[in-house]
Amino acid sequence: MAVTGQNTAHGAAGVSTAALAADPHPRLAALRASSLVTWVPAVGGWMVTGYESAVAVMRDPAGFTVDDPRFTTARVIGPSMLSLDGAAHAAHRDPFTGPFRPRAVHGSFAGLVERESALLLDALAPDGGAELRRGFAGPLAAVVMAEALGLRDVPVADILGWYDAIVRAVDTLTRGGDPGDAGGAAYGALRAAVAGTLDAGRDDSLLVRAAAGGALDTTAVASNAAVLLFGGIETTEGMIANALLHILTTPGTAELLAAEPGLLDGVIEESLRMEPGAAVVDRYAARDTELAGGGIAAGDLVVVSLAGANRDPAVFPDPDRFDPRRANARSHLTFAHGPHYCLGAHLARLETRVALRACLERLPSLRLADPEASAPYGLVFRKPARLDARWDV
């Protein structure tokens, strides 16, 4: 792979994937201060840390494409709306868009999210403590996505297991490792569940409706179901866990919400900006080009750091400060931008809003058992490994 005019910032050679997984923000700030687009040997490509440059890449699928055999998610689940551009991308995405539009989301899912949040907290509240990421946020997201897709006969534990295996495989591939067989096996099980749902022919299943047009066969429906399941659980579980973490570790935030409940949306958007659940998205240069002074060659990997762009001080003053009143917090790029903007963003926001409100109302004096152990971690997907919490009973 030829790279022309490499712009390797001072210190970029010392940036490791381990450091980016543990605490990326100071390293991304240092890269951005030197250059908005930098060749980073550890990732084997260009890292985009500036906001405007990130937007430019994501809104230009002709110049920076996902349709490349190296794209990690496609290597696990095959071609899908996530790994195709142009007409092929539209053919895979369009059959799934209806239920995820704002009005449809509220009408179809608000009651479900409220009921499931209440059921989960009914089971947890009497104990005075629990691990809230996988004990609350993950199951809530899985139930909602199973309902959205029409996978109603599949146990939630199975869905979470498939999702975990696919996430691990993608993360391992991104690190340059061998993902093994678990991710492929999980996708195979999901594909079988999708085939069973299609065979049942339920009219209220999004999967059945997506297949009805004839443009997508069972394999394509399954690949896109995996993307929606993967994104729907990952995005929402991460949003809820990271927002709870910010509320419980930023002094005065819980008290502020108690006094001004209307600030909850501001807290959610600022949490999304500060710690996106998906820290990076990959693109591949379709032609020789220049971006923010970097000479990028056709075929080069271009890693858009959403975490870096979200803390660009040119757009977000004092970017490392958690500010629930930040006027432009919603301008963050956590749900990406352009044709690949997250299909489930409205549903994820709804789930997070309902889930946070339920936790704060149902779990008195909610607090973390060990704040340091709850720090977000991950190269691609960032959230706490555990979110052990306590509350008064």
What pLDDT score does 323 carry?
97
Residue 3 DSSP code: -
Report the CATH number of the 57-283+328-390 domain.
1.10.630.10
What pLDDT score does 164 carry?
87
What pLDDT score does 201 carry?
84
Angle at 324 between CA 320 and CA 328, to 5 degrees: 75
Residue ranges of domains in the chain: 57-283+328-390
Q: Give the Å distances, CA to CA, from 2 to 65, 225, 363.
A: 18, 36, 56
pLDDT in tens for each of the 393 residues of the chain? Answer: 334 445 555 568 779 999 999 999 999 999 999 999 999 999 999 999 999 999 999 999 999 999 999 999 899 999 999 999 999 999 999 999 999 999 899 999 999 999 999 999 999 999 999 999 999 999 999 999 999 888 888 898 898 899 889 888 988 888 888 888 999 999 999 999 999 989 988 778 899 989 987 889 999 999 999 999 888 998 899 999 999 999 999 999 999 999 999 999 999 999 999 999 999 999 999 999 999 988 999 999 999 999 999 999 999 999 999 999 999 999 999 999 999 999 999 999 999 999 999 999 999 999 999 998 999 999 999 999 999 999 999
What pLDDT score does 9 carry?
54
Contact 239, 348 (CB under 8 A): yes
Q: Which residues contact 1 (CB under 8 A, 6 or more apart)?
A: 297, 299, 300
Q: Which residues contact 188 (CB under 8 A, 6 or more apart)?
A: none
Sign of the four-CA dihedral 159, 165, 171, 173: negative
- Count other Cβ atoms within 10 Å, centred on residue 340: 21
> What is the reported pTM?
0.93
